[in-house]
Amino acid sequence: MENNSNLNKSSGSADMQFIRSAFPSLRDDYVFFDNAGGSQTLGLVMDKITDYYMHSNVQLGGVYSVSKQARARVDEGNYHIAQTLNAEQTESVIVGSSTTALIRLFSIVIGQTLKEGDEIIITNCDHEANVSPWKDLQKQGIIIKTWTFNPSSYQLEIEDLEPLMTERTKYVAFCHTSNIFGSIHPVKAITEFVHSKGAKVFVDGVAYAPHRLIDVQDLDVDFYVYSLYKVFGPHLAVLYGKKQWLLDLPGINHNFIAPNDLPYKFQPGGQNYELSYSLSGISEYYQSVAVHHGLSETASIREKMQYAFEVFDQQEERLSKRLLDFLQSKPSVTIIGERDYAKEKRVCTIAFVVKGMHSSDINAQIHPHNIGIKTGDFYAKGIVKALQLENQGGVVRVSMAHYNSLDELEKLIKLLDKII
């Protein structure tokens, strides 16, 4: 067992006992290595959902006390999720059912503002959630161009984007991190370049958000979206938009909802109350990790969040290094993604293929040992197609989170060592 409980951050280790005890499902002896598909959920989040049903399960907007309390709770969840993005204001944050649904919704309203012949650039390394909705705008005469990743670096390179941009380019839709490669794209630099050409960015941060703290103001992104059920929360997603763009876009709610009624104009039917309230549990967890590892109680929410992610990074880097070193020691293995474990370069979502082996045959020998990994294309169909991995059943993906221990990883490596 890892003997690193009650160590603070300055000694270089996350207190894994403290961290793991925040996730009730981790008490079972099961190894969750499919976190990029969906993370485990915080006990704080579960408790808040139950508490909402027990004490404030009414419609918002009433003048009676329980309705006011319900409103305050939903607002609290929205406030904390805006803090995790560092949004300028809470109204710039739209909570929806999933990233897929939010991008689809925004493609529809954005499509209403475009003219025939306008251009949108997508990539061949994004999840379909950030591909199909834009491609469907071709039906109304929008031109779609594809920015292809560099198959050597597994990166999106700005020099490959440049020749695609014209004065008709309105949006560039791309991912902060690919859910297969794990490599981190330089969103700030890409955004600066896209803005210099007069277009906007629409960033899918789903594979990035569980691993690093987002700062939409620093990145200067126009739109940014991610799924909360992959970030230790409930089955929801969140989309940030710059306020002016949200005010400019047509809404998709009832006709009588005012154009400045943010975020409601983009939330037909409203948002899920109990799950939205539970979002404050994610923020409380980050803050508790920071304080437990030595940061002052008086630090701001963002400072605490940043500190917590630094604690997570240490564990994640350790996990990435161990698995990448192991995979690189195997001549039959090709890592599909960034080979450097450094936290500036990648997150701990690691994909690979093994020469002469179907990816699902590898998994067949892993999952009976109570280890959940996954194989396939993970809806990043452009990657599997570009790398011609269809016949191999896509990639094997081991997607870890900060709460995974080195002991868990050793269990997987021991099995893989016999197979590959």
Q: Which two tokens stand for residue 69?
A: 């309390």
Q: How many CB atoms lie within 10 A of CB 389?
A: 20
In angstroms, give the least distance from the CB of 184 to ligand PLP.
Answer: 13
Specify the residue, 233 or 281, whose C-beta has the smaller distance to ligand PLP. 233
27-46 residues near ligand PLP, rule: CB under 6 A: 36-37
Binding span for ligand PLP by CB under 6 A among 40-48, 200-208, 324-332, 344-352: 200-208
Q: Which of 99, 320, 349, 359 binds ligand PLP (CB under 6 A)?
A: 99
In angstroms, give the least distance from the CB of 318 to ligand PLP.
Answer: 23
What backbone torsions phi and psi does residue 177 show, to the nearest 5 degrees?
-145, 135
Cβ proximity of 2 and 405 under 8 Å: yes
Q: How many CB atoms lie within 10 A of CB 16?
A: 21
Binding span for ligand PLP by CB under 6 A among 203-211, 242-250, 349-357, 397-405: 203-211
Specify the residue, 239 or 366, whose C-beta has the smaller distance to ligand PLP. 239
**Residue 274 makes contact with ligand PLP by CB under 6 A:** no
Specify the residue, 310 or 377, whose C-beta has the smaller distance to ligand PLP. 377
Sign of the Cα torsion 275, 236, 38, 241 reads negative
Q: What angle do CA 124, 125, 130 make, to 5 degrees?
A: 85
**Residue 335 makes contact with ligand PLP by CB under 6 A:** no
* Rounded Cα distance, 420 and 411, in Å: 15
235-264 residues near ligand PLP, rule: CB under 6 A: 237
**Residue 95 makes contact with ligand PLP by CB under 6 A:** no
What backbone torsions phi and psi does residue 93 show, to the nearest 5 degrees?
-115, 120
- Bridge partners of 147, per DSSP, are 123
In angstroms, give the least distance from the CB of 59 to ligand PLP.
Answer: 26
Cβ proximity of 168 and 174 under 8 Å: no
In angstroms, give the least distance from the CB of 209 to ligand PLP.
Answer: 10
Specify the residue, 169 or 349, whose C-beta has the smaller distance to ligand PLP. 349
**Residue 207 makes contact with ligand PLP by CB under 6 A:** yes
- Bridge partners of 94, per DSSP, are 239
Q: Are strands 31-32 and 371-372 parallel, antiparallel or unpaired?
A: parallel
Please compute, for residue 180, the number of CA atoms within 13 A of its CA located in the half-sphere on the CB side: 30
Q: Which of 39, 56, 78, 100 binds ligand PLP (CB under 6 A)?
A: 100
At position 364, the amino acid (one-letter code) is A
What backbone torsions phi and psi does residue 90 show, to the nearest 5 degrees?
-65, -30
Specify the residue, 229 or 277, whose C-beta has the smaller distance to ligand PLP. 229
* Rounded Cα distance, 281 and 292, in Å: 16
The 378-407 contact track toward ligand PLP, x by CB under 6 A, reads ------------------------------
In angstroms, give the least distance from the CB of 207 to ligand PLP.
Answer: 4
The 121-160 contact track toward ligand PLP, x by CB under 6 A, reads ------x-x-------------------------------
* Rounded Cα distance, 76 and 70, in Å: 10
Q: Which two tokens stand for residue 98?
A: 């999933």
218-237 residues near ligand PLP, rule: CB under 6 A: 227, 237
**Residue 175 makes contact with ligand PLP by CB under 6 A:** yes
Binding span for ligand PLP by CB under 6 A among 2-10, 47-55, 204-212, 400-408: 204-212
* Rounded Cα distance, 68 and 62, in Å: 7
Specify the residue, 311 or 398, whose C-beta has the smaller distance to ligand PLP. 398
Q: Count the site residues for ligand PLP by CB under 6 A.
A: 14
What is the Cα 224 distance to its own chain's centre? 10
Specify the residue, 240 or 307, whose C-beta has the smaller distance to ligand PLP. 240
Residue 133, classed as helix, strand or coil, is helix
What are the DSSP calls for 363-405, one per residue? HHTTGGGSEE-EEE-TT-HHHHHHTT-GGGTSEEEEE--TT--
**Residue 204 makes contact with ligand PLP by CB under 6 A:** yes
* Rounded Cα distance, 78 and 46, in Å: 17
Binding span for ligand PLP by CB under 6 A among 18-26, 96-104, 262-270, 342-350: 96-104
Cβ proximity of 233 and 41 under 8 Å: yes
In angstroms, give the least distance from the CB of 304 to ligand PLP.
Answer: 26
In angstroms, give the least distance from the CB of 99 to ligand PLP.
Answer: 4
Tell me which residues touch ligand PLP (CB under 6 A): 36-37, 98-100, 127, 129, 175, 179, 204, 206-207, 227, 237
